[in-house]
Amino acid sequence: MAATRRVWVTVLLALLGLALGVGLGLTIGWIQWPVEYYDTELTDLREVYQADYVLMVSDAYALTGNLDAARERLSRLGVSDVAALVLSHAEASLAAGTPEAEVGRLSRLAAALGASSPSLAPYLTLTPTVP
């Protein structure tokens, strides 16, 4: 009987300690010293997220046709030659087996910016589609 009671007290104390630890950790992490991001730039993004950003800019260009806005958005990535950047993403998307519509949007933006590639030429004539 005393051994059973001792097991229950041990389990109860362990659960209480776990609950206190989780509660204290959440309080410290979310209330006392939360992470604050400030002055972040697109240049701080990882390469995979920069590729997503380039794709989103190509989607916006396909919708609006505003090349100046696309050029300005891409310049925020801190790259000197945005046409080469878009072209490299288009070629990488083609090599990765990305859907034709995405490759087409990227290749049309690259062509509008003045960069072209023979492997992307067939995608320039596709009917533009936006997701």
**Span 1-23, average pLDDT:** 91
Local structure of residue 117 (DSSP, 8 states): -
pTM beyond 0.85: the answer is no
* Whether residue 54 has pLDDT greater than 80: yes
* Whether residue 39 has pLDDT greater than 80: no
Residue 1 to residues 7, 10, 38, 41, Cα–Cα distance (Å): 10, 14, 59, 65
| Residue 127 confidence (pLDDT) | 63
**Span 50-56, average pLDDT:** 93
| Residue 90 confidence (pLDDT) | 92
Overall size of the chain counted in residues = 131
Query: DSSP states of 4-69 as a string?
Result: HHHHHHHHHHHHHHHHHHHHHHHIIIIIIS-----S--GGGS-HHHHHHHHHHHHHHHHHH--HHH
Listed in sequence order, the residues at least 6 apart from 114 whose beta carbon sits closer than 8 Å to its beta carbon are 83
